[in-house]
Amino acid sequence: MGIHTGEIYGKKTSANKLALYNVLSISKNTMTLQNIDNSLSLFEVATKKLATSGYVRISETPYIDLNKNKSKKQKSARKPTRCPLTLDFLEDRADSERPASIVPDLFTQPKV
């Protein structure tokens, strides 16, 4: 599975909500994730343990928040490689639009 910078991954939280994370950087064995809702929340996770930890790829298109107020403590944002208002017809959203929630059944196992 190829993991690329800018992709969005989701993980089910204890309150049955979906937390979304941007992939900021990738090294040989780890990747840095940033919570979309809390830009100061950064952490690293092993690339091999990504799927086993419950992370699911939501989107290959990056999320760029155009309304974000930059704080002095926050690092400068990366410059986007394309216009955030460009509509990606495959994912049916622009980079500046938050990804739609996925079906909750994705996280549940089929009953046999």
* pTM, rounded to two decimals: 0.67
Is residue 95 included in any domain, yes or no? no
What per-residue confidence (pLDDT) applies to 32?
A: 92
Is residue 97 included in any domain, yes or no? no
Class of residue 74 by CB neighbours under 10 A (exposed 0-12, middle 13-18, buried 19+): exposed
Is residue 43 included in any domain, yes or no? yes
Backbone phi, psi, residue 39, to 5°: -65, -15
| 58-95 per-position pLDDT tens digit | 888 777 777 766 665 555 555 566 676 777 766 777 77
At 5, is the secondary structure helix, strand, or coil?
A: coil
CB count in 10 Å sphere of residue 106: 12
- Report how far residue 105's alpha carbon sits from residue 59's, in angstroms, rounded to the nearest whole number: 17
What per-residue confidence (pLDDT) applies to 81?
A: 66
Is residue 18 included in any domain, yes or no? yes
106 compared with 102, residue with greater pLDDT: 102
pLDDT of residue 112 exceeding 70 = no
Is residue 37 included in any domain, yes or no? yes
Q: What is the average pLDDT across 5-9?
A: 86
What per-residue confidence (pLDDT) applies to 110?
A: 54
Residue range(s) defining the domain that contains residue 33: 8-63
- Report how far residue 95's alpha carbon sits from residue 84's, in angstroms, rounded to the nearest whole number: 5
> What is the total count of domains within the chain?
1
